[in-house]
């Protein structure tokens, strides 16, 4: 069990044969989870603005939406921004969504060499932990996206919640995992308040976006698991169905 504290630490070669969990709590993975729960068919996470625009040009369809941000600002010409409440079911159900963010989708791209990749946020962190308890792999990497090359408190808290919810007996833990497991156990009841104190959290408050914390900070509110399959983010059940249909 290993932790990377920012996307710049990702070593793609070390992910071969591993399960990776990518988290960008404020805000990419929280919004990606919301999009899937609102009934989107699949999400195409873009690794760059150029890729997002190219995908949009290639996949012109009334069932296609574009969303996200670049540098904290909604991208000109996109249908939606980066916030979860911009993706209600009546807008996204049955549709494909091209999604780009400064940190989160780029972290997903860097980690796509993993045998299995899930996304996590505080809302589904306990569900991710339950899944990891049962996963048959010798290596799990918890990957915090961070913020523009910096360590971020909110992503680290998400990793801490996952580690605190797991039975780590028998796992070979690095020092970061050990520290975060203790953090998660000792701060179970005040994750939400800690979320507001980080650099990104303070920025959200300055921008008058405190309502975002109510949704983002609801630890364990969702049991939905989202995985990367052939470059697309889909609900875990969809991946299971696909495997069964193809004899996997």
What confidence score (pLDDT) does residue 65 get? 98
Task: Give the architecture-level CATH label for domain 2-235.
Answer: Alpha-Beta Complex (3.90)
Which backbone phi and psi does 228 adopt, to 5 degrees?
-95, 125
Q: For residue 132, how far is the Cα from the chain centroid? A: 15
Distances (CA, A) of 162 to 1, 12, 61, 132, 166: 11, 22, 38, 9, 7
- At residue 241, the pLDDT reads 45
What interhelical angle do 199-206 and 153-164 show, nearest 10?
120
> How far apart are alpha carbons 232 and 98 in whole angstroms?
10
Q: Say if residue 247's pLDDT is above 80.
A: no
Q: What are phi and psi of 157, to 5 degrees?
A: -65, -40
Average pLDDT, the chain: 93
Q: What is the average pLDDT across 244-248?
A: 39
Residue 47 has pLDDT above 60, yes or no: yes
pTM of the predicted model, to two decimals?
A: 0.93
pLDDT level of residue 244 (50, 70, 90 thresholds): very low
Pick 215 or 138 by higher pLDDT: 215
Starting at the edge strand found earlier in the chain, the sheet holding 140-144 runs: 2-4, 140-144, 19-23, 116-120, 226-229, 232-235, 42-45, 96-100, 64-70, 73-74
Q: What are 167-210's pLDDT values in tens digits?
A: 888 899 999 999 999 999 999 889 988 988 898 889 888 988 88
- pLDDT given at position 40: 98
What percentage of the chain exceeds 70 in pLDDT? Answer: 96
Interval 48-102: pLDDT, tens? 999 999 999 999 999 999 999 999 999 999 999 999 999 999 999 999 999 999 9
């Amino acid at each position: 069990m290993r932790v990377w504290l920012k996307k710049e630490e990702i070593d793609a070669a070390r992910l071969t044969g591993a399960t990776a969990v990518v988290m960008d709590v404020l805000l990419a993975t929280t919004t990606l989870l919301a999009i899937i729960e609102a009934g989107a068919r699949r999400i195409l996470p873009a690794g760059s603005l150029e890729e997002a625009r190219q995908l949009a040009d290639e996949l012109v369809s009334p069932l296609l939406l574009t969303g996200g941000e670049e540098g904290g600002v909604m991208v000109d010409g996109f249908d939606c921004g980066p916030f979860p409440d911009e993706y209600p079911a009546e807008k996204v159900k049955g549709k494909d969504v091209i999604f780009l963010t400064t940190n989160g989708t780029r972290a997903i791209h860097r980690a796509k060499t993993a045998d299995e990749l899930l996304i996590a946020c505080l809302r589904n962190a306990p569900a991710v932990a339950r899944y990891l308890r049962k996963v048959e792999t010798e290596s799990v990497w918890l990957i915090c996206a961070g913020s523009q090359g910096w360590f971020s408190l909110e992503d680290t808290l998400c990793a801490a919640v996952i580690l605190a919810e797991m039975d780590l007996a028998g796992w070979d833990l690095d020092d970061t995992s050990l520290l975060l497991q203790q953090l998660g156990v000792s701060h179970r009841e005040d994750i939400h308040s800690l979320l507001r104190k980080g650099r990104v959290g303070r920025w959200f408050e300055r921008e008058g976006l405190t309502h975002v914390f109510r949704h983002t900070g609801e630890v364990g509110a969702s049991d939905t698991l989202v995985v990367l399959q052939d470059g697309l983010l889909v609900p875990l059940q969809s991946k299971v169905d696909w495997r069964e249909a193809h004899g996997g």
